[in-house]
A and B are shown apart, each in its own frame.
Chain A
Amino acid sequence: MTTQSTPVDLSGARKVAPFAPDLLQTTEHHLCSGCGHPVAWRLLVEVLDELGLVDRSIGVVGHG
């Protein structure tokens, strides 16, 4: 859906930010409105990708 009164014309436009990095398997989550966790996930995944570390990473997820 859109809140823009006129449709967006993307001809000649260059994408500078995707919705989310490809490595993020989904954009759906149940965290609260305004939560910082998803921002941290995105930054983490972007950096791992940029540094070429994705194939050499172990993720450890804490509780609670």
Chain B
Amino acid sequence: MPLVLREGYDAIAEAAVNAGCRFFAGYPMLPFTGLLDAFTRSFESNGQGVMIQADTEIEGINMALGAAATGARAATGSTGQGIALMQEAVAEAALNELPLVIFNIGRGQQDYFQCTRGGGWGDYRTIALAPSSVTEADELTRLAFDLADQWLTPVIVYGDHLIGFTQMTVEHDPDRPPAPQPEKPWALDGSSGGTGRSKVIWTWRMGKHNTPGLGPDQHWRNVAAKYDEIAQSEPRHVTGDVDGARHLVVSFGTTGPFVDYVVDELRAAGHPVGTFRPITLWPFPSAALAAAASGCDQVLVYELNAGQMIDDVRLAVNGAVPVRAVGGVSQDESGMRQGELLGVDVMRARILAAIEGADRR
């Protein structure tokens, strides 16, 4: 397939449209705004698709939720602060079992808890995918729409400004056929008009007076069981060269390639260190991480926040190996972008200190 140079925003929007996305609604907030613009361009060149700049983030996600209810592949997005406003609607999508893709073009890595724990109500999860590059964002955007339709759940794609503004190569075949989509018999598409049997989409699934539904207890049990199934079959991760590794560095998202770069250098200098990167933040690839960490003296977590993914790392490792945080909160002076902890010199110094510190113990 031919390669083209694309800015992250365009790569994501084009991948979404090629995956069948025909509705996008959101509200501008940097660094997400570029994605709103990109969807406008992609729908225009596709000749089909609706992009609405809503009056608020809550309005945007609810519009997308409505579009999803009619059977369309629909998406919304924002940055962390706006995703925070959308939390109720995310829970609604999950408990309504509606497919919905949500793009968080974040200001950094501080939204890990937001995309894995969520702030909505009830027993629900969201699949969360964390691309490390523009190229991976293209793949994971396509995957997001497939997973959303397959499992009838919201899926979060957690990117950031680095992905948005960077140009990288992506595969681009203008004749690539659109992604196949499953049947959606539950969709409110007017097909049951005149039959006297209207369809009901309801988080409590009580049905109607004359046609009662499962009811909230059974419905919520079913939804929870579905998320258990997803946790079994959908974890994804990447392991670097871990041959002989006694120290495992775990990172996610765009921090990943920087960690890879540093660890490659350290390995070349003889340090027994390897890398592990979850692609799915939820379901977190716990079994794979536990296996990768089993031969190690310690697991180092390099994330640019006060310690969020490290909770999942600790759960996965389950006390078998010490886990240490070697990253931290790091934003630039604007607060919109990662700061100096993303620099490879700082990274190398911290990882080396942790390696040597452990060796001295």
Q: Is there a direct interface between A and B, measured as CB atoms under 8 Å apart in the complex? A: yes
Chain A residues with a Cβ under 8 A of chain B: 25-26, 55-56, 58-60
- Closest Cβ neighbor of B69 among chain A residues: A58
Tell me the smallest distance from the CB of A30 to a CB of chain B, in Å: 13
Interchain CA distance A11-B282 in the complex, whole Å: 70
- Closest Cβ neighbor of A53 among chain B residues: B193
B208–A56 touching, CB < 8 Å: no
- Closest Cβ neighbor of A60 among chain B residues: B66
- Chain B residues in 8 Å Cβ range of A58: 70, 188, 190
B210–A25 touching, CB < 8 Å: yes
- Closest Cβ neighbor of B194 among chain A residues: A55
Contact with A along B69-95 (1 / 0, CB 8 A): 010000000000000000000000000
- Chain A residues in 8 Å Cβ range of B70: 58
- Chain B residues in 8 Å Cβ range of A26: 209
Interchain CA distance A59-B209 in the complex, whole Å: 16
- Closest Cβ neighbor of B92 among chain A residues: A63
Question: DSSP majority for the B interface?
Answer: loop
Question: DSSP majority for the A interface?
Answer: loop
Q: How many interface residues does B have (CB within 8 Å)?
A: 10
Tell me the smallest distance from the CB of A58 to a CB of chain B, in Å: 5
Tell me the smallest distance from the CB of B207 to a CB of chain A, in Å: 11
A25–B209 touching, CB < 8 Å: yes
- Chain A residues in 8 Å Cβ range of B209: 25-26
Tell me the smallest distance from the CB of A57 to a CB of chain B, in Å: 8
Interchain CA distance A26-B211 in the complex, whole Å: 12
B208–A25 touching, CB < 8 Å: yes
Tell me the smallest distance from the CB of A45 to a CB of chain B, in Å: 13
| Shortest 9 CB-CB contacts between residues of A and residues of B | A25-B209, A55-B193, A55-B194, A26-B209, A25-B210, A58-B188, A56-B193, A25-B208, A56-B190
- Closest Cβ neighbor of B210 among chain A residues: A25
A-B contact pairs, 13 of them (CB 8 A): A25-B208, A25-B209, A25-B210, A26-B209, A55-B193, A55-B194, A56-B190, A56-B193, A58-B70, A58-B188, A58-B190, A59-B198, A60-B66
Interchain CA distance A3-B138 in the complex, whole Å: 72
* Among B66, B70, B198, B208: residue with most chain A CB under 10 A: B198
Tell me the smallest distance from the CB of B343 to a CB of chain A, in Å: 46
- Chain A residues in 8 Å Cβ range of B190: 56, 58
- Chain B residues in 8 Å Cβ range of A55: 193-194
- Closest Cβ neighbor of A24 among chain B residues: B209
Identify 8 new A-B residue pairs, CB closer than 8 A, beyond the known A55-B193, A58-B70, A58-B190.
A25-B208, A25-B209, A26-B209, A55-B194, A56-B190, A56-B193, A58-B188, A60-B66
